[in-house]
Structure 1
Amino acid sequence: MTRTSAPVDAPAPGAWEELVTAALLGTERRTPPGCPSGPEAPLALLDAAAVETVRRRAGLRPGRAARLPDPLAEDPRPLLPSAAARRLAMLLADRPGAGGGGRRGTAPDLMELLPQWLTTANARGYAPPPELLPALLDAARGRTDLRPAALTFAGPRAVWLARLNPDWRFALRATPGGGTTLPHLEDTGKVRQLWQEGLFAERVALLSALRSREPTAARDLLTTTWATERAEDRLMFLDSLRTGLTADDEHFLEQALTDRSRNVRATAAELLSALPGSALAGRMAVRAGACVAVDHTGDTPTLAIEAPHECDPGMESDGVVPKPPAGRGERSWWFGQLVEAAPLGTWPGRLGGRTPQEIVALPVADDWQAELHAAWCRAAVRQRDAAWARALLGAPAAPEAGGPGAVSLAERAKLLGTLDAAERGDWVAGFISAHGLSEAFQLLGVCAVPWAAPLGRAVVDALNIARDAGSYPWSFSGVMGLAERCLDPSEASTLDGLMAVPDEPEDASPGAGGYWAEAFQRLVTTLRLRAAMQEELGAARPLSPSAESADSAESTESADSAD
């Protein structure tokens, strides 16, 4: 049944809002504009709304066209070889945990090989296939450890795409300046303009880029606005001076010691203490030297410690934090800060001309050894002093190296970072040969990749010993995961004998031999896959010596995914 009604005159401005209000309140309480009251009011309201809806739709003016995206910058890098592109697609298609359960079987964990693939591709200077960029950015979105290498490989396209898809906005945050193109550093006018008018991220990116090329110019630029910067910004800008830190920065850092921000003062003091010839380092050497002396009254020379009894204004102005954290005594807290800031080169002269090894070997009275050695460890890491690092590390086969001792495993890992890659690997290999794998995971994480032959053999031998002992491989899953990513792929052929199921001793865990065989099969399969990856990436574009060095220095993945 069709109902007809009289034409509705054009409503006055705001009529639509009136109709909505009448519909919400009800026609009994509010008569719609231009409609009769009474029983016909609801139908009249609907008619009026229908007419107004058509009128509104018909009368819409075309919207202003959206601005086209900026043209994509050219990527001058050569495109990835086709075999390597297929391999990347395979790695990106893998999904962690697809197999379910705790038993991994013999299949390689492809997602754990993606970071290494990206590092190698970046070292060789390849550009990605455009069609794989969405999958790559999705993978980096889910794993923050992938982002630096993934964004380097993706190049300018990553920022361009991130502006179009909110899911990939992390690329803008991870890129200094949000992808903003920095001016040529030789253009001092534009550099100064960006420094004075740019966003914070742009200014950080500019200062970091300038510091890496012209340290003095970067420091001079910072001084032009230092007094007007916010405290949190001053802290971030000051941290950029770690790059290329030299004695020329001392005057500026001494001024920063008087900053109104405690964090800025502490960072300035830390940077000055990394300059052994600075005035602050000299002041700290005097203070620390007054706390440590050789006591000859006993049968054996012993280091006697007299920690500070107060944190005087001079100490506090030089960056010593007066209030200790919970659980720490004040005197030991002040003492540790003085020793770690004192130049290590002053100790032999103050302690009877002894070498670092001889100083570290001296007994320390009154249970101060742990505090003293821990402070020396921090100083060796801060000052990059390999001689003191060797002395504090000691012999890898020494009994105390595998236990708590005066230097913890975390401190040993940091000390190893001051040594060259070959010496680092040899020390960890000796540690594993003497103490096994139970405490080695943290130390293996600082070794250069791929592992040198002695280190690789030590790890495999220790795994083999654990298998012969009848334990389950799950106890060593972290080390096994590292081995899959860090052993030299050329070692695969030497492991074939470990893939067979061994005869299990009577006291072995049930089924352990079969699980070990699976683990070694997966290790060998992964090593051969890594060898194929390297060949695919290197066939058309061999590594330069500098790229070889960068490739060998690749860091290992976090322990979170290794288990």
Structure 2
Amino acid sequence: MTSPRTPTGTTTGTAVQRTTTTTPWEELVTSALLGTDRRPPAPGPGGREGPVALLDEAALRTVRHRAGLLPAEAAERPERAPADPRPPLPAAARHRLGHLLADRSAPSGGSGRRGTAPDLTELLPQWLASANRHGFRAPSVLLPALLDAARARTDLRAHVLGFAGPRGLWLAAMNPEWKFALRGAPGGSLPSDTTDPDAARRLWEEGLFAERVALLVAVRRREPAAALALLSTTWSTERAEDRLMFVDSLRTGLSGADEGFLEEALTDRSRNVRATAAELLSALPGSALAERMAARAVSCVNPDRTGGAASIAVEAPHECDASMQRDGIVPVPPAGRGERSWWLGQLVEATPLAIWRDRFGGRSAQEIVGLPVADGWTEELHAAWCRAAVRQRDPEWARALLGTPSTPPANGPGTASLAERAKLLATLPGAERAVWVADFIAAHGLSEAFQLLGVCAVPWAEPLGRSVVDALDIARDAGSYPWSFSGVMGLAERCLDPAEADRLEVLTATPDEPEGAAPGAGGYWSEAFQRLVSTLRLRSAMERELTPGAP
């Protein structure tokens, strides 16, 4: 508690005199903390004592403090909010947004059960993405609630700032709690006009670090060469940690035009900057660094000509020389890794995949991956090829390394890691990705598929959605509790095609419990499917409300 100042000074030239003797504020606080029985305050007017005297004195001191404040000088009025030419939300969609922001989802209660009501907090990002896709502007009255939601949840910020538009940025400048909006969103929303070269240059030279990063990303999306020229003007004077973020932004629109700049960055003082520059150069198959890496890799990985059948011979590097380190090879391996295997993996990862076809007599990626590898190097070599396929966005090699969905991950041609498999899947077209994961679920069930589902396009294509629902239905019939499938069920609520709601209605009934089933499991499954169906119907209604001309 802070002490209000008693106005004993002068106010506009007139002395303000005390009319009564007052107790020091610190003593009032002490009496309040210890209790008036232990530390009684001085009697107040009219002989009041105890708590009444304490409260009277505190009220008197507060009024005197407020009355003694000098009036502040009038501040300049803020500029008018900028116009937003986008069309307003339809009335139903505006009402829905208010409902989502208020988070009126039904509480689960003390039992831990979620109930059958949709989780509105999980649907807000989807609603915002759809509103942005349709090009609506945010209602002015809901801008504060939108900015508060984005302040609390970083996953909403790009959607919110795009939806709030110029008026959201104007309003954010009025409240320090919304200053995150002024730093720019991942989508490149900025408080400046980045299409004006002079304004962009001023912001680049004078802006905060986060503003400069957002500016670079926004310009890079529109005109990669202009962003590179902007970065080049101040590169030599930037701090190491800032240079790392700036060079990483060159991933957007990366092309051969960036090679000269990135080659110079290979000699940067910062090891992290050098490593990032090397990674970007290795993603350019025609770069000089990619050629240097290829020359090193083919001296290590070759067709084995000692036996009758085709196979792969591996001779890992015996040292990591200065030129390798300059090109981004990290010399010291992590704990538990051997040096030579660590160096080999980095070399192969940074080598253009196209060279292996010529190296192995014109064989396809699938044929090369299927060749036996001598001396136990299979896992290391395949893992490096997986990372190369992801870095170079090569779908042919991704397919070869994924293998057939029915093959158990531990026996597959590429990697047993589901996280790495998810990255490989992300390089494939959306429809092909959905079919592969659907077949994987049919062969191995849902327990292995959660990470793979996360990279599939939303809404899930028909074969994938049907495969997920069938697997959930099988788990329900088995009589176990649905809790181990709660993650998949949550994904289904957000990712299944809303048109599936009517087909899933039959699963909302409580099934007969088979012999040996967990007690009450059928009721839990019924509840989970009711929530799934109601969420799909809500998503369908949300999309109709945002679609102009829809009934």
TM-score by length of 1: 0.82
Cα contact 1:295–1:303 (8 A) shared by 2: yes
Paired residue for 1:257, among 266, 277, 299?
Answer: 266
Measured in 2, the distance between the counterparts of 1:115 and 1:9 equals: 56
Paired residue for 2:486, among 477, 481, 486?
Answer: 477
Measured in 2, the distance between the counterparts of 1:54 and 1:502 equals: 69
AA aligned to 1:396 is P
Q: Which residue of 2 aligns with 1:328?
A: 337
For 1:76-95, what aligned pairs fall within 5 Å after superposition? 76-94=85-103
Deviation at 1:180, TM superposition (A): 5.4
Give the number of aligned pairs.
504
Cα contact 2:162–2:189 (8 A) shared by 1: no
Measured in 2, the distance between the counterparts of 1:476 and 1:375 equals: 33
Contiguous gaps of at least 5 residues in structure 2: 1-7, 26-61
User: What is the percent sequence identity of the aligned residues?
Assistant: 70
Deviation at 1:372, TM superposition (A): 1.1
Q: Which residue of 2 aligns with 1:119?
A: 129
Q: Which residue of 2 aligns with 1:227?
A: 236
Cα contact 1:81–1:540 (8 A) shared by 2: no
Residue-by-residue CA offset, 1:314-346 (whole Å, 9 max, x unaligned): 101111111112222211111111010000000
Q: Which residue of 2 aligns with 1:73?
A: 82
For 1:471-510, what aligned pairs fall within 5 Å after superposition? 471-510=480-519
Match status 1:143 vs 2:153: yes
Cα contact 1:339–1:372 (8 A) shared by 2: yes
- From the superposition, tell whether residues 431 and 54 of structure 1 become closer, same or farther in structure 2 (CA, over 3 Å): closer
Residue-by-residue CA offset, 1:389-434 (whole Å, 9 max, x unaligned): 1101111111336889734111110011111111111111111111
Q: Which residue of 2 aligns with 1:104?
A: 114
Measured in 2, the distance between the counterparts of 1:339 and 1:373 equals: 9
Q: Which residue of 2 aligns with 1:157?
A: 167
Cα contact 1:402–1:439 (8 A) shared by 2: no
Match status 1:181 vs 2:195: no
Match status 1:215 vs 2:224: yes
Deviation at 1:203, TM superposition (A): 2.7
Paired residue for 1:368, among 374, 377, 380?
Answer: 377
AA aligned to 2:138 is P
Measured in 2, the distance between the counterparts of 1:303 and 1:163 equals: 62
AA aligned to 1:158 is G
Residue-by-residue CA offset, 1:176-228 (whole Å, 9 max, x unaligned): 7997533453x444443443333333332332222222222222222222222
Cα contact 2:311–2:374 (8 A) shared by 1: yes
- From the superposition, tell whether residues 393 and 404 of structure 1 become closer, same or farther in structure 2 (CA, over 3 Å): closer
Q: Looking at both structures, which has the greater relative contact order when contacts are Cα pairs under 8 Å and sequence separation is at least 6?
A: 1
Cα contact 1:95–1:111 (8 A) shared by 2: no
Q: Which moved more, 1:218-227 or 1:236-245?
A: 218-227
Q: Which residue of 2 aligns with 1:267?
A: 276
- From the superposition, tell whether residues 403 and 513 of structure 1 become closer, same or farther in structure 2 (CA, over 3 Å): farther
For 1:31-50, what aligned pairs fall within 5 Å after superposition? none
- From the superposition, tell whether residues 166 and 210 of structure 1 become closer, same or farther in structure 2 (CA, over 3 Å): closer
Measured in 2, the distance between the counterparts of 1:173 and 1:206 equals: 9
Deviation at 1:141, TM superposition (A): 2.8
Measured in 2, the distance between the counterparts of 1:228 and 1:256 equals: 13
- From the superposition, tell whether residues 242 and 461 of structure 1 become closer, same or farther in structure 2 (CA, over 3 Å): same
Measured in 2, the distance between the counterparts of 1:366 and 1:97 equals: 60
- From the superposition, tell whether residues 193 and 149 of structure 1 become closer, same or farther in structure 2 (CA, over 3 Å): closer
- From the superposition, tell whether residues 320 and 428 of structure 1 become closer, same or farther in structure 2 (CA, over 3 Å): same
- From the superposition, tell whether residues 437 and 333 of structure 1 become closer, same or farther in structure 2 (CA, over 3 Å): same
Q: Which residue of 1 aligns with 2:328?
A: 319
Q: The residue matched to 2:362 in structure 1 has which SS?
A: coil
Cα contact 1:370–1:407 (8 A) shared by 2: no
Q: Calculate the aligned-residue CA RMSD, in Å.
A: 3.2
Paired residue for 2:471, among 440, 451, 462?
Answer: 462
Q: Which residue of 1 aligns with 2:352?
A: 343
Q: The residue matched to 1:293 in structure 2 has which SS?
A: strand
Measured in 2, the distance between the counterparts of 1:204 and 1:174 equals: 8
- From the superposition, tell whether residues 193 and 133 of structure 1 become closer, same or farther in structure 2 (CA, over 3 Å): closer
Measured in 2, the distance between the counterparts of 1:142 and 1:191 equals: 29
AA aligned to 1:289 is V
Measured in 2, the distance between the counterparts of 1:200 and 1:224 equals: 15
Cα contact 1:401–1:431 (8 A) shared by 2: no
Q: Which residue of 1 aligns with 2:44?
A: none
Q: Which moved more, 1:266-275 or 1:533-542?
A: 533-542
